[in-house]
Amino acid sequence: MNDDNRPDPDDLLVELQRDEVKSKQGRLFIFLGMCPGVGKTYAMLQAARQRVAEGVDVLAGVIETHGRAETAALLEGMRVLPRRQLEHRGFTLDEFDIDAVLVKKPRLVLVDELAHTNAPGSRHSKRYQDVLELIESGIDVYTTLNVQHIESQVDIVRQISGVAVTETVPDSILDLAHEIQLIDLSVEKLLERMADGKVYLGERAELAISNFFKEGNLTALRELALRFTAEQVDRDLEDIRRLKRVSSPWKTNARLMVGVGPSPYAESLIRWTRRAAARLNCPWLVVWVESSRVLTATEQERLTRSLGLARKLGGEVVSVTGENVSIALLQVARERNVTQIVVGKPDKQPFWRKSLADQLILGSGDIDVCVVRPLAAPGKDTVSSLREPVSASTIAEFSWVLVSVFTIASLCWSLVGYTGYMFVALVFLLAVVLAALRLSRGPVLAMATLSAVCWNFFFIPPIFTFHIGKPEDWIMFGMFFIVALSMGSLTHRLRLREMAERRRARLTDALLRMTQSAALSAEREKGLETALRVIDETLHARTALVVRRADRSLDTQAHPASSFDPPAKEWGVVAWTHNHKQTAGRDTDTLPDSFATWFPLQTATSMMGVLGVRLEEETRLDFTTRETIAAFALQLALVLEKEHFIQAIHQAEILTKSENLRRALLDNVSHELKTPLAVIQAALDGTGREGPFLGEMATAAGRLQRVVDGLLEMNRLESGALHPSLDWCDLHEIIATARDAVGTALQTHPVSIHLPDDLPLVRLDPVLFAQCLANLLHNGAAHTPPGTPIKISAGLDGSNLHLAVRDHGPGLPPGAEIRVFEKFFRAENTPTGGTGLGLAIVRGLVRAMDGEVVARNAPGGGAEFAISLPGVETFHEPAVTP
């Protein structure tokens, strides 16, 4: 077989792991339609009724019947979940009650309108997040969705219909779907239904509706829905092909990358890339190049939103720093083996500057560059971004510029007689450079211009006119103008860059200080406290730390080093963050009404706790801050994990030490007890055991020896130091060994062995098993009158090995079936001489081998002890010709 045709083992592994996760998860069924009114809810309810008829536990979580009688009729007889009532600004809003579903845990829940936005105060801001949580906890979900609500299709829908869709669901949730069922209806039928008034049109204005439901629009939407479903089916097919080892012609190594900035076009570029990546079935990156330019609040927010969108759509977000965007983008592209760079089509560019697209194309080499026409995001910020409100400080700077230019002008006026007007130009230049070190860009450029004008008007002859007489003065004026402008802007840019560097250095320094204080501090508590204070200082925020306890559950109160104490209702979001390993709380999509934002302290292997950050009231959590906090959180998690490992090692050392001590003690005790016994026994042997006294001594010595053996064995069992070492065994051999071990005590009882002829070799610990059997035989011989037979039988039942020892004595007293296995238990009327440990040891040994032993009275008299060992490997003897 050709190697290239084989599926990549890593891919297969991913597939398998996905299946594994999927098997624990609930399944998601999506009923997809092209627009409202095609009958999605109706189809969903019909499918659900069928499941009810099959006996499945179905719960109607939330159903929008929109007053349609046919749909409402289908709901009859179903379990319907009452809506949750939420108070919001005096209104009472009905909302889907996710907690009630999680408590009731039905097999299947119906959740209409996947793209719905939840009322404020709900756990998640979007309904699809509720659905995700439901399937994660193992509940199947039926839901409905219109194609225009799919995030990656939003731009296309806007182009078709002119309607900007605000309620969207990320494409990733469609990838999760177990099944997508397309509810299709021809456009004529739909228009017919509309005319009959069967389509719910919502509260929208009549005009918008009539615009939306035009035949052309509907046909386009229908095509979109059909194509989308076809693509999904195609991808499923590919999954199947890959798994079935059909040669995979689409094994692409493509990787897309899109560069985004704080522009309003970014979102549309991201969606385009996502669609292209989905079609190529390849990974994609979103790169944001941070330069020294300080972003305005609007830009910051727009960037945060764009990068959030990228994450939601499943893209990997990379942020790098660099002054030249195209060089930085190409560098990332080379490092990450990107095959195609997506860039927006430039609109107007000054003729002397190359557009980003041109620069990328020039430097891209073997990487494809794809130039697409983006759509500006709808909304107010397209305009507002261009007109930042003029701040008070800017006005102050402008007035400062005005005053200083005129002061310099008047000073020079008095000096110009001695120095000549050339000197004045230099003074102005000096002033512009100095101003650039303090002021922002606008005022500096204004100052440069104003100085040039002043110089011209007041100093260049003829004075008090803008007219310049001599041609060399013209040249000089021109040169002054250019030098002043460029010096001003250069100095200003340098200062900005320095500021950005300083900010970055401050963050890096804070991270380093935090790590050092937390990791190197002798006292853990103090170290953590210093670390948290560093975070507080750096972000001007308050923090709370909730640490994982030794049993892997989250602590119920914040770490004492925290600078705020989470309010009582905050613990829900804390637990959510810990369980889902995702950031939640304020300024996120999950429980945004919380007091603080909560970050998981997660390392590669484990979850160490949760870090809560409460920023000052008016600041929002932007992208940079979020990344910074994530970096802090990772460091904290690593420090906590290190602590955890140190403790674990310490624990293990103590265990080893105590184990060694125990073993030494046991060796000593057995030596000290057994040596005198050996002496007594040897001495008795030497006398030949003649005479009644010596005989009694020999019996007592024998009994003492059994007690000592039993106690030592019991100790070994109870310390848990017994680990079976498996080997292939022949049960005949083991039975023979056990009989030998019991020795003379068994001579008074005839023993019969019943084993199937074809009994294979079994894999178990021969020593432990033989000892169990020996103890059972000894017990049988000791508790039955001489001459009564003892029967050993064994057999295999699948991989279950069972062995029984049955005697024909008086049997067990009633109620003793379980107690016989207790230490030092003696049934009444039993002969003395036993140790009371034999059966307890049997139980301990059998349990060490993961088996079970029971005692019962056999039908027909006598006691029976049965051992069963599950999961025993067997080896059938191959046919051997002797």
Partner 1 sequence: MTALLIDDEIQIRRLLRIALEGKGYNVREAENGVLGLQGAAYHKPNVVLLDLGLPDLDGVEVLRRLREFSDVPVLVLSVRNQESTKLAAFEAGADDYVTKPFSTAELLARLAAIQRRQGADENANLACGGLVLDPAHHAASLDGHALKLTPTEYALLAQLVCHAGKVVTIKQLLRAVWGPQSEDQSHYLRVYANHLRKKLEGSGISIKNEPGIGYRLELSECSNSRE
Binding site for partner 1 (CB under 8 A): 667, 670-671, 674-675, 677-683, 685-686, 701, 705, 709, 725, 727-730, 732-734, 736-737, 740, 761, 765-767, 769-770, 875, 877-878, 880-882
Identity of the residue, 859 or 882, whose beta carbon is nearer to partner 1 in the bound complex = 882
Residue 634: CB minimum distance to partner 1, A: 45
Q: Which long-range contacts (CB under 8 A, 24 or more apart) does 794-800 make?
A: 794/731, 794/754, 794/755, 794/759, 795/755, 795/756, 795/759, 796/756, 796/759, 796/760, 796/762, 796/872, 796/874, 799/870, 799/871, 799/872, 799/873, 799/874, 800/868, 800/869, 800/870, 800/871, 800/872
Residue 766: CB minimum distance to partner 1, A: 4
User: Cβ-count burial of 345 within 10 angstroms (0-12 exposed, 13-18 middle, 19+ buried)?
Assistant: exposed
Residue 278 structure tokens: 């989905």
Which alpha helices (DSSP H) does 688-730 contain, by range? 692-718
> What's 2's DSSP letter?
-
From 719, 705, 695, select the one nearest 837 (Cα to Cα).
705
Identity of the residue, 324 or 675, whose beta carbon is nearer to partner 1 in the bound complex = 675
> What's 254's DSSP letter?
-
> What's 150's DSSP letter?
B
Identity of the residue, 218 or 735, whose beta carbon is nearer to partner 1 in the bound complex = 735
Identity of the residue, 569 or 689, whose beta carbon is nearer to partner 1 in the bound complex = 689
Identity of the residue, 157 or 729, whose beta carbon is nearer to partner 1 in the bound complex = 729
Residue 631: CB minimum distance to partner 1, A: 51
Residue 810: CB minimum distance to partner 1, A: 32
Residue 505 structure tokens: 């250095």
Identity of the residue, 237 or 665, whose beta carbon is nearer to partner 1 in the bound complex = 665
From 442, 458, 371, select the one nearest 410 (Cα to Cα).
458
Residue where the block lists tokens 């990450």:
336
Identity of the residue, 25 or 775, whose beta carbon is nearer to partner 1 in the bound complex = 775
Residue 312: CB minimum distance to partner 1, A: 54
Cβ(635)–Cβ(534) under 8 Å?
no
From 126, 133, 132, select the one nearest 151 (Cα to Cα).
126
Residue 706: CB minimum distance to partner 1, A: 11
Identity of the residue, 550 or 879, whose beta carbon is nearer to partner 1 in the bound complex = 879
Residue 551: CB minimum distance to partner 1, A: 35
Identity of the residue, 603 or 705, whose beta carbon is nearer to partner 1 in the bound complex = 705
Identity of the residue, 510 or 701, whose beta carbon is nearer to partner 1 in the bound complex = 701
Residue 649: CB minimum distance to partner 1, A: 27
- Which amino acid, 726? L
Identity of the residue, 574 or 841, whose beta carbon is nearer to partner 1 in the bound complex = 841
Number of continuous H segments (helices) and E segments (strands) in the chain:
27, 25
Residue 761 structure tokens: 């070799």
Beta strands in 239-336 (DSSP E): 256-260, 284-290, 316-321
Cβ(48)–Cβ(143) under 8 Å?
no
Identity of the residue, 643 or 730, whose beta carbon is nearer to partner 1 in the bound complex = 730
Count of Cβ atoms closer than 10 Å to residue 234 Cβ:
13
Identity of the residue, 520 or 880, whose beta carbon is nearer to partner 1 in the bound complex = 880
Residue 429 structure tokens: 């230049």
Strand partners, 607: 602
Identity of the residue, 342 or 768, whose beta carbon is nearer to partner 1 in the bound complex = 768
Residue 744: CB minimum distance to partner 1, A: 11
Cα radius of gyration (the chain): 42
Residue 761: CB minimum distance to partner 1, A: 5
Count of Cβ atoms closer than 10 Å to residue 24 Cβ:
9
Which alpha helices (DSSP H) does 552-622 contain, by range? 571-580
> What's 345's DSSP letter?
P
Residue 685: CB minimum distance to partner 1, A: 4
Residue 840: CB minimum distance to partner 1, A: 19
Residue 867: CB minimum distance to partner 1, A: 16
CA distances 286 to 326, 401, 589, 822, 852, Å, are 14, 42, 20, 68, 59
Strand partners, 344: 372
Q: Which long-range contacts (CB under 8 A, 24 or more apart) does 701-710 make?
A: 701/677, 703/833, 703/835, 704/677, 705/674, 705/677, 705/681, 706/835, 707/835, 707/837, 708/670, 708/673, 708/674, 708/677, 710/835, 710/837, 710/838, 710/841
Residue 666: CB minimum distance to partner 1, A: 10
Q: What per-residue string of b and e applies to 849-860 under the rule 16 or more CB within 10 Å gives b?
A: bebebebebbee
Identity of the residue, 551 or 690, whose beta carbon is nearer to partner 1 in the bound complex = 690
Q: Residue 488 CA to chain centroid, in angstroms?
A: 50
Identity of the residue, 197 or 878, whose beta carbon is nearer to partner 1 in the bound complex = 878
Residue 672: CB minimum distance to partner 1, A: 9
Identity of the residue, 281 or 874, whose beta carbon is nearer to partner 1 in the bound complex = 874
Residue 689: CB minimum distance to partner 1, A: 11
Distance CA 336, CA 323 (A): 20
User: Cβ-count burial of 471 within 10 angstroms (0-12 exposed, 13-18 middle, 19+ buried)?
Assistant: exposed
Identity of the residue, 725 or 829, whose beta carbon is nearer to partner 1 in the bound complex = 725
Residue 676: CB minimum distance to partner 1, A: 8
Q: Which residues 6+ apart lie within 8 Å of 108 measured at CB? A: 48, 51, 56, 57, 58, 59, 139, 140, 141, 142
- Which amino acid, 194? M
Give CA angle at 703 (664, 748), nearest 5°.
130
Distance CA 328, CA 347 (A): 22
Residue 774: CB minimum distance to partner 1, A: 10
